[in-house]
């Protein structure tokens, strides 16, 4: 996959894993998401096309904002926290040692993710968007390290849990597509 496609997919998927479904940030991206099967040469393009059909059916679900809130913001106990430190640190704490290492990595490569909220940078969607920024700035080695040293260390477990969540078919499908995207990436 070429860098332009890789970057576009990282931005697109990252946004849908980070922003609420009815946010202004996502509205212009919905068409691209529903046709993500046409944006890359997927290993199993017919399967990805099927996933796009599911996304198209679910994108208008009136419960989608609530589902997002449960899965990404926490309404009660979070079954699939989207932050790496929860999966990587011994005590499964938010903003643990792995988060601090990731923050240092970002700082070392000149990335400051200021979302306007006091939140950990190791959120799955934010990490994909940081990856895209590194690619856009031709920091290919740093981008590969972000994926291999910071994201792939926990994303398989996170995406597996999200694929089996009992809250949202939309986010189960999004997890499947993200999993296939990550399989297309070269690692260091």
Q: Where are the domains of the chain?
A: 3-184
pLDDT range class, residue 93, cuts 50, 70, 90: confident
Residue 188: what pLDDT?
Answer: 45
* pLDDT mean across residues, the chain: 92
Residue 116: what pLDDT?
Answer: 66
Q: Is 27 exposed, middle or buried (0-12, 13-18, 19+ CB in 10 A)?
A: exposed
**What are the phi and psi torsion angles at 83 (to 5°)?**
-110, 130
Measured over all CA atoms, what is the biggest interatomic distance in the chain, rounded to whole angstroms?
A: 42
Q: The CATH number of 3-184 is which of 3.90.420.10, 1.10.40.50, 1.10.3480.10, 1.20.1250.20?
A: 1.10.3480.10
Rg (CA), the chain: 16
What is the mean predicted confidence (pLDDT) over 137-148?
95
Both tokens assigned to 79: 């079954």
- The residue that leads in pLDDT, 10 or 92, is 10
> Which ranges in the chain belong to alpha helices (H)?
3-18, 30-34, 45-58, 64-68, 84-88, 97-108, 124-136, 140-145, 155-163, 169-184
pLDDT range class, residue 187, cuts 50, 70, 90: low
Residue 7, strand partner residues: none
pLDDT range class, residue 38, cuts 50, 70, 90: very high
- Asked if pLDDT for residue 8 goes beyond 50, the answer is yes
- 43-67 as b/e: b if 16+ CB within 10 A: eeeeebeebbebbeebeeeeebeeb
Residue 94: what pLDDT?
Answer: 80
Q: How far apart are CA 49 and CA 46, in angstroms?
A: 5
Angle 3-18/169-184 helices, nearest 10 degrees? 150
Cα torsion for 59, 61, 66, 71, to the nearest 10°? -50
């Amino acid at each position: 996959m070429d860098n332009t496609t890789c970057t576009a997919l990282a931005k697109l998927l990252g946004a849908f894993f980070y922003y609420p479904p009815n946010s202004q940030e996502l509205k212009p991206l919905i068409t691209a998401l529903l046709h993500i099967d046409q944006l890359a040469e997927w290993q199993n393009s017919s399967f990805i096309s099927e996933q796009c059909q599911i996304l198209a059916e679910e994108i208008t679900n009136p419960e989608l904002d609530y589902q997002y809130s449960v899965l990404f913001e926490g309404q009660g106990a979070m079954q699939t926290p989207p932050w790496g430190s929860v999966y990587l640190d011994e005590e499964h704490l938010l903003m643990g040692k792995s988060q601090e290492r990731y923050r240092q990595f970002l700082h070392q490569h000149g990335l400051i993710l200021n979302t306007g909220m006091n939140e950990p940078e190791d959120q799955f969607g934010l990490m994909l968007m940081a990856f895209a920024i590194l690619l856009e700035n031709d920091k290919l080695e740093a981008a590969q390290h972000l994926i291999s040293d910071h994201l792939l260390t926990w994303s398989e477990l996170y995406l597996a849990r999200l694929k089996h969540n009992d809250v949202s078919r939309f986010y189960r499908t999004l997890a499947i597509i993200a999993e296939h995207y990550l399989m297309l990436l070269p690692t260091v």
